[in-house]
Each structure stands twice: as structure tokens, then as C-alpha cells.
Amino acid sequence: MIAHALPSLRQVELGGCWTLSNDGLASFVAPLKFLQRLKLVRCIQLSDVGMAAIAHVQAVHRSLLELELSGCADVTVDGILSLATFVRTLTHLQIVGCPGVTDHGLAHLCRLLALLQHLKLGGAGCTSITDSGLMHISRSLLHLHYLSLTNCADISDDGLASLASLPLLRYVELGACRSVTDHGVASLESLPRLQRLTLVSCPLLTNFGLQRLISLAHLDRLVLRSCENLIATTTPPTTTTTAPSVVII
């Protein structure tokens, strides 16, 4: 087996391994004492049992820093919590298309993974995240640099305003935030290091909010997609040399 032949592997990416079982994953990761990054994409037979197997290994080695799960539909937040209990040094967590990510589960994850710098939650799995979930993130993840939450229709201005307590936040991506208005976007002016902002499907955002955004001191790129109340010809003021690159789609 590859893992036994290469026990010093630090990064592993497994994609489209449709026949990979929980037992197979357990056997694969068992000899990897130095594993730092694990990416699993569309491994459809994996479940929370597979996450428990990784947790068993990491309870001894405690080497994992980055975990990415995408399209592993039988892995739930409970499985990820079982792993996080033993890998509290994770700095990078990405969960896309895994069901059952709620505010309650997110609160537990944030308490266990206080060192996270990069958090991405997306797909059908995070439709239950609300302003309360964002507030859990803001209270616990003070080292966060990157935050991406897509398909989170229940996030509003209050949740966006809570991000102001994250002083290191540099990249924010929010998708399908249909209740976010110009007022909520304006609250992002409190983020001193914000460099990149992407907002997708925010129908209440207008050109007034856009003008507030392009005045942010450190913002160098602003992407707005499917925000139908924006006028696509809007450009940053020509009087400033520090205006960000603005993309409106």
C-alpha cells in the first residue's frame, strides 16, 4: 500500500475514490505519522466512522493542520466534531456538501478549533447557518484570516456586523445572503485588514453600499455576483489611487 511505502507523507488528496470505504481510509492513514493536510473529495462511501478512524490516529500523532471535505455526503458535523476533539491545532477547515452543519454544531467546532485561520462551509450542508453561527465564529475564532460561507440564506446584517470582532480577517466570501443590506455591508468598514470581499446573490445590496465598500483602506479586490440591484457600470472614484479592483457579474 502507498501509505506504508511512504510513511513520511505530509499531504494527501483523494478525489473520486467511490469505492474507498471507512476501513480502507483507516488503513490508509494509520501509518502516516506526519500527515498535515488531508483532502477528501467525492469519496461517497465515507461516513462519520471514517472520521472516527482519522481521530483514532490523530489522538496519537496530532499532526493534522488542514482538513478539506467535499461531496462526502454521509459525513456529518458529528463526525467532524469527533475528529476535532483530537486535532485542536487545525488551522484550515473546509466542509462543502456535508449535511447537518447547524449553528449548534458550529458553536462546538469553534470552541474546539480556536486556532483556525481558514474556514469554508458551503453547499447544501450549511443552509441552516444563521446570524447566531456567525456570532459563534466571531467570538471564538480570533485568528481567522479567511471566511467563506456559501448558500447561507439566513445570514443578515446583524451576523455581518459581528465579524467586526475579527481583527485579522482578510478575505470574506458570502453567498446567497438574501437578507444582507447596504447597512450590513457598511459594518465591514470595521475590519482593518480586509483585502478581498466576494458577495454572491445579495439582491438588497445597492450602489450606495458599493460606494461604502470601495472606500475601505486595504481592500484590493471586490467581487459582486448576481446582485441585481447594482448597476454594472459603477466604477471606483478616479480621485483615489487605492481604490480596489471591482468585478460585478
CATH of the domain at 230: 3.80.10.10
Residues making up the chain, counted from first to last: 249
**Count of Cβ atoms closer than 10 Å to residue 3 Cβ:** 15
**pTM assigned to the model:** 0.89
Q: What is the pLDDT of residue 76?
A: 86
Q: How far apart are CA 44 and CA 243, in angstroms?
A: 44
Q: What is the pLDDT of residue 211?
A: 85
Classify residue 234 as exposed, middle or buried by CB count within 10 Å of its CB (0-12, 13-18, 19+): middle
Per-residue pLDDT of the chain (249 residues; tens, 9 = 90+): 565 667 789 999 999 999 999 999 999 999 999 999 999 999 999 999 999 999 999 988 889 999 999 988 898 888 999 999 999 999 999 988 877 788 998 999 999 999 999 999 887 667 788 999 999 999 999 999 999 988 888 899 999 999 999 999 999 998 888 889 999 988 988 888 999 999 888 899 998 888 888 777 788 898 988 888 887 544 444 444 455 676 766
**Count of Cβ atoms closer than 10 Å to residue 70 Cβ:** 18
Query: Could you tell me which of 196, 149, 150 has the C-alpha nearest to residue 169?
Result: 196
Enclosing domain of residue 35: 2-248
If you ran DSSP here, which 8-state letter would residue 45 be given?
T
Q: Count how many domains the chain has.
A: 1
